[in-house]
Chains A and B, each alone.
Chain A
Amino acid sequence: MKKTLILSTALISLGFAAHADVTVMSWGGAYGAAQTEAHVKPWSAKTGNAAVMVDSDNPAPAIKAMVEAGNVTVDVASVEYADAIRLCDEGILEPIDASKLPAGADGTPATDDFLPGAITECGVSTDIWSNVFAYDTTKFPEGPKTAADFFDLEKFPGKRGLRKGAKAVLEFALIADGVPVSEVYSVLSTPEGVDRAFAKLDTIKSQVVWWEAGAQPPQLLADGEVAMTTAYNGRIFNAVIEEGKPFQIVWDGQIYENEMYVVPKGAPNKDLAMDFIAYATSTEGLRAQAQNISYGPARKSAMKEELIFKDGKTVMAPHLPTAPENMTNALETSSEFWVDHDAELNERFQAWLSQ
Chain B
Amino acid sequence: MAEAIPEQLTTADGRPLKAALQAAQARAKRRALLLVLPLLLFVLLTFLVPIAYMLKRSFEHDGFASAAPALVEWFRANPGFDPANPPEEAYAALVKDLARMQTEKTTGMAGTRINYSVPGTISLFKKGAREAATLTPPYKEALIAVDADWAKPALWRGMESASHVYTTEFYKVASDMKLTDDGWSRAPERDRIYLYLFGKTFLISAIITVLCLLLAFPVAHLLATLPMAKSSLLMILVLLPFWTSLLVRTTSWIVLLQEQGVVNSLLVGSGLIDTDGRLQMMYNMTGTIVAMTHVLLPFMILPLYSVMRVIPPSYARAARSLGATSWTTFRRIYLPQTLPGIAAGSLLVFILAVGYYITPALVGGADGQLISNLISFHMSKSNWSLAAAIAAMLLASILLLYWLYDRLIGIDRLKFG
Chain A 219-242 per-residue mask, 1 if CB under 8 angstroms from chain B, else 0: 000011100000000000000000
Query: B366–A354 contact, CB under 8 A?
Result: yes
Query: A159–B259 contact, CB under 8 A?
Result: yes
Query: B120–A88 contact, CB under 8 A?
Result: no
- Which of B121, B200, B259 is in CB contact (< 8 Å) with A340? B121
Q: For residue A215, which residues in chain B have a CB less than 8 angstroms away from its CB? A: none
Assess A91 versus B366: contact at CB under 8 Å? Given A159-B259, A354-B193. Answer: no
Chain A 322-355 per-residue mask, 1 if CB under 8 angstroms from chain B, else 0: 0000000000000010011111101110111111
B367 an interface residue at 8 Å Cβ cutoff? Answer: yes
How far, in angstroms, from A58 to B196 measured CA to CA in the complex?
Answer: 28
Query: B377–A343 contact, CB under 8 A?
Result: no
How far, in angstroms, from A208 to B367 measured CA to CA in the complex?
Answer: 11
Q: For residue A225, which residues in chain B have a CB less than 8 angstroms away from its CB? A: 258-260
How far, in angstroms, from A343 to B413 measured CA to CA in the complex?
Answer: 46
Query: B123–A223 contact, CB under 8 A?
Result: no
Query: A346–B122 contact, CB under 8 A?
Result: no
Within 8 A of A (CB), among B110-140: 111-112, 115-116, 119-124, 126
How far, in angstroms, from A87 to B111 measured CA to CA in the complex?
Answer: 12
Chain B 79-121 per-residue mask, 1 if CB under 8 angstroms from chain A, else 0: 0000000000000000000000000011111011001100111
How far, in angstroms, from A336 to B53 measured CA to CA in the complex?
Answer: 33
How far, in angstroms, from A343 to B260 measured CA to CA in the complex?
Answer: 35
Assess A4 versus B50: contact at CB under 8 Å? Given A64-B382, A89-B107. Answer: yes
- Which A residue sits closest to B55, measured CB to CB? A1
A309 an interface residue at 8 Å Cβ cutoff? Answer: no
- Which of B53, B121, B369, B380 is in CB contact (< 8 Å) with A1? B53
- Which of B112, B191, B365, B384 is in CB contact (< 8 Å) with A209? B365
Measured CB to CB, the closest approach of chain A to B204, in angstroms, equals 12
Measured CB to CB, the closest approach of chain A to B52, in angstroms, equals 10
B54 an interface residue at 8 Å Cβ cutoff? Answer: yes
How far, in angstroms, from A342 to B124 measured CA to CA in the complex?
Answer: 15
Query: A223–B260 contact, CB under 8 A?
Result: yes
Query: B115–A343 contact, CB under 8 A?
Result: yes
Query: A340–B120 contact, CB under 8 A?
Result: yes
Measured CB to CB, the closest approach of chain A to B267, in angstroms, equals 16
Query: A89–B108 contact, CB under 8 A?
Result: yes
Query: A1–B388 contact, CB under 8 A?
Result: yes
Measured CB to CB, the closest approach of chain A to B169, in angstroms, equals 14
- Which A residue sits closest to B129, measured CB to CB? A89
Measured CB to CB, the closest approach of chain B to A34, in angstroms, equals 24
Measured CB to CB, the closest approach of chain B to A1, in angstroms, equals 5
B387 an interface residue at 8 Å Cβ cutoff? Answer: yes
Number of interface residues of A (CB under 8 A): 41
B221 an interface residue at 8 Å Cβ cutoff? Answer: no
- Which of A3, A58, A336 is in CB contact (< 8 Å) with B50? A3
Query: B377–A350 contact, CB under 8 A?
Result: yes
Within 8 A of A (CB), among B164-200: 190-193, 196-197, 200
B107, B116, B120, B366 — most chain A CB neighbours (10 Å): B366
Chain B 52-69 per-residue mask, 1 if CB under 8 angstroms from chain A, else 0: 011001000000000000
Query: B115–A223 contact, CB under 8 A?
Result: no
Q: For residue B367, which residues in chain A have a CB less than 8 angstroms away from its CB? A: 353-354
Measured CB to CB, the closest approach of chain B to A20, in angstroms, equals 26
Query: B384–A2 contact, CB under 8 A?
Result: yes
Query: A1–B57 contact, CB under 8 A?
Result: yes
How far, in angstroms, from A148 to B111 measured CA to CA in the complex?
Answer: 37
Q: For residue A353, which residues in chain B have a CB less than 8 angstroms away from its CB? A: 366-367, 369
A90 an interface residue at 8 Å Cβ cutoff? Answer: yes
Query: A351–B382 contact, CB under 8 A?
Result: no
Measured CB to CB, the closest approach of chain A to B309, in angstroms, equals 37
Assess A339 versus B50: contact at CB under 8 Å? Given A350-B193, A351-B191. Answer: no
Assess A340 versus B119: contact at CB under 8 Å? Given A1-B50, A210-B365, A354-B196. Answer: yes
How far, in angstroms, from A174 to B8 measured CA to CA in the complex?
Answer: 95
Chain B 360-400 per-residue mask, 1 if CB under 8 angstroms from chain A, else 0: 01000111010000100101111110011001000000000
Measured CB to CB, the closest approach of chain B to A180, in angstroms, equals 23
Q: For residue A346, which residues in chain B have a CB less than 8 angstroms away from its CB? A: 377, 381
- Which B residue sits closest to A92, measured CB to CB? B108
How far, in angstroms, from A3 to B45 measured CA to CA in the complex?
Answer: 10
B409 an interface residue at 8 Å Cβ cutoff? Answer: no
How far, in angstroms, from A182 to B387 measured CA to CA in the complex?
Answer: 36
How far, in angstroms, from A89 to B125 measured CA to CA in the complex?
Answer: 10
B299 an interface residue at 8 Å Cβ cutoff? Answer: no
Query: A354–B381 contact, CB under 8 A?
Result: no
Query: B190–A1 contact, CB under 8 A?
Result: no
B262 an interface residue at 8 Å Cβ cutoff? Answer: no
Measured CB to CB, the closest approach of chain B to A100, in angstroms, equals 20
Q: For residue B259, which residues in chain A have a CB less than 8 angstroms away from its CB? A: 159, 224-225
Query: B366–A336 contact, CB under 8 A?
Result: no
How far, in angstroms, from A192 to B382 measured CA to CA in the complex?
Answer: 28
Query: B258–A347 contact, CB under 8 A?
Result: no
Chain A 5-33 per-residue mask, 1 if CB under 8 angstroms from chain B, else 0: 10000000000000000000000000000
Measured CB to CB, the closest approach of chain B to A166, in angstroms, equals 11
Task: Kindly list 14 other residue pairs between chains A and B, CB separation below 8 angstroms, not including A1-B388, A348-B190.
Answer: A1-B53, A1-B384, A60-B382, A89-B105, A90-B108, A90-B112, A91-B108, A209-B283, A212-B361, A224-B259, A224-B260, A336-B123, A350-B369, A354-B366
Residues of A within 8 A of B (CB): 1-5, 57-58, 60-61, 64, 86-91, 159, 205, 208-210, 212, 223-225, 336, 339-344, 346-348, 350-355
Report 17 cross-chain contacts, Cβ distance below 8 Å, ordered by A residue.
Answer: A1-B384, A3-B49, A4-B50, A58-B380, A64-B382, A86-B122, A89-B111, A89-B126, A91-B106, A159-B259, A210-B283, A342-B381, A343-B116, A344-B119, A346-B377, A348-B191, A353-B366
Closest 9 CB pairs of A and B: A89-B108, A344-B119, A351-B193, A90-B108, A3-B50, A353-B366, A1-B54, A340-B120, A224-B260
